[in-house]
Structure 1
Amino acid sequence: MDPGTYTLYHVDGIDSRGALEQYFSGKDEMVFGEDSIIFPTESLIKTFKEGHLKGDILIDLSVGGLVHHLFGACEFFKHIIVLRVRDRCILELKRWVDGRTGAFDWSHVTQLHVDLKGCTDAMQDHEGKVKSALEHVLKCDLHKEDIMDPIVLPLADCMTSALLLDLISRDQEDYMRYLKKFSKLLKPGGHIMLFACLEGTYATIGKEKIYFFNHDEDFVRKALVDAGFVIDNCKVKKRTNVSDLTDYKAIIFVSAHKEK
């Protein structure tokens, strides 16, 4: 598929609220919940329970206003730094963190997280812990070799990235280049956790079709290894929902650590 015929996330931007409503909301008619909400939440809870992922700093480089994949991280990392490509996405996230009127409602994810962990904490207390951990929501520039220049960030113990590489990569070379830039934000031995859509070419948000880089599990594995990572865990969930809003075939979760 020619990326020039579709909207490019990091060039043209997207309707961040529209994306949340269509693919991540708690509405009954939202058919993607099993892939976009339940699978990521279960995967991260299981990974964190293993006990080797913890530290001072976690950096998140994900798409749009996504935050639900960070709900478990606040218990294992002292500081969470969120990096985003678009100003609109930063505003969406800050609206939620600050509890402003009109913020996206993540209560369905909070309830899911509490249920899966068997927590006795009230939902409000748990969501407050997440917001407290998100100390910084900053803009990055993917065109720069150092995507945070001129800001200097401390190297992270862990990084999470949901869907971003799918949307900013036009081809395999792009994917590798961005992955290596992401790796520079990690300490030697640091961990990365990726969520991605496999074998997809587009996602519809409103009237726009957003370009997706078409790749499979083998490519993700090879890309991580070539970028200097050792894969610790990889799980693929085949798509079961029916919708023409997007054409991905499966969701992948990969946990890997950076070679020292």
Structure 2
Amino acid sequence: LTVGPPPTPIPNPQVVATDFLEVNREELQRWVRGEPGAFDWSPFIQHVCKIEGRGEPWQEKERRLRGRLRRILPIDVHCADPLGAPLRPPADALLSTFCLEAVSPDRAAFGRALLNVGSMLRPGGHALLLGALGESFYLAGAARLPVVPLDEDDVRGALSDAGFTIRDFRSYAMPPALRTAVDDVQGVFFVHAQKPLEG
């Protein structure tokens, strides 16, 4: 990653979460409201606190995250305006994990989806992408869902075509011990990319 002076803290940062399915958005709302029976994210939050190593109690991080998650919006990444209207203000950063390749029927659609979600970023904004390499399907219960199988060149090319500058690109082969019958993923990629500044 690029080394430079520490970033200026954003006052009162907000998190906007999105999902195509209403049932998923409602599940997130239940977690934000702290309802009994909502999905338990605490193991993940505890792991993040351990990685960060700041000694922050995970309960405090969870409380702050709930307070910052102000909007949970429907999204369709295949629309030029994925949220139905431009995001105001545009996002400083965008995080997408195992999403765009799973909802795109082919490589061209993946590239268009990346361009569409990139439109929600401010100039100079950052995109963090985590995704699958060489995956053609995954199972959700009894349903077998298709995935567009990507390689590193596909991801790099789509980012370039969408106008992003790649700041860091890492990929990992999936060890046989971690492969399961729920998909045929061959590896994963992590990308930090940046939208160019205007002018």
**TM-score normalised per structure 2:** 0.89
Verify: 1:211 aligned to 2:146, yes or no. yes
Distance 1:145 1:192 in 2: 17
- 2:131 maps to what in 1? 196
The count of aligned residue pairs is 195
TM-superposition CA deviations, 1:149-198 (whole Å, max 9, x none) = 24753211111111111111111111111111111111111111101010
CA distance in 1, matches of 2:144, 2:5: 40
Are residue 132 (structure 1) and residue 67 (structure 2) matched? Answer: yes
Q: Residue 171 of structure 2 aligns with which residue?
A: 236
1:249 aligns with 2:189: no
Change in CA separation of 1:53 and 1:94 when aligned onto 2, cut-off 3 Å: farther
Letter in 2 for 1:258: K
Deviation at 1:51, TM superposition (A): 6.8
Distance 1:91-1:49 versus aligned 2 partners, 3 A rule: farther
Q: Which residue of 2 aligns with 1:258?
A: 195
In 1, the alpha carbon distance for the partners of 2:3 and 2:43 equals 22
Alignment partner for residue 178 of structure 1, among 95, 113, 117?
Answer: 113
Secondary structure at 1:166's aligned position in 2? coil
Q: Are the aligned partners of 1:55 and 1:157 in contact in 2 as well (CA < 8 Å)?
A: no
Q: Deviations over 1:31-54 (max 9, x none)?
A: xxxxxxxxxxxxxxxx79987677
Whether the 8 Å CA contact 1:53–1:191 is kept in 2: the answer is no
CA distance in 1, matches of 2:5, 2:38: 33
Amino acid at match of 1:182: V
Maintained 8 Å contact 1:159/1:186: yes
Check whether the contact 1:53–1:158 (CA below 8 A) recurs between aligned residues: no
1:121 to 50, 56, 59: 56
1:151 and 1:117 map into 2 onto residues whose CA distance is: 33
Q: Conserved in 1, the CA contact under 8 Å of 2:17 and 2:72?
A: yes
| Residues 152 and 121 of structure 1, relative CA distance in 2, 3 Å threshold | closer
- Paired residue secondary structure (1:189): strand
Kept after mapping to 1: 8 A contact 2:134/2:186: yes
Cα pair distance change 1:204/1:184, threshold 3 Å: same
Displacement of 1:80 in angstroms is: 0.9
Note if contact 1:97-1:131 (Cα within 8 Å) is conserved in structure 2: yes
**Residue type at the aligned position of 2:121:** L
Contact 1:55-1:77 at 8 Å conserved across structures: no
Query: Hey, what's the Cα distance between the residues in 1 that align with 2:53 and 2:95?
Result: 24
What SS does structure 2 have at the residue aligned with 1:128? helix
Aligned residue number for residue 99 of structure 1: 34
Cα 1:150–1:222 shift into 2, 3 Å: closer
Larger helix proportion of the pair:
1
Q: Any idea what the Cα deviations from partners look like across 1:82-109, whole Å, max 9, x if unmatched?
A: 1111101101111111111111111211
Distance 1:91 1:204 in 2: 22
Report the RMSD for the aligned CA atoms in angstroms: 2.3
Identity within the alignment, %: 28
Task: Give the match for residue 156 of structure 1.
Answer: 91
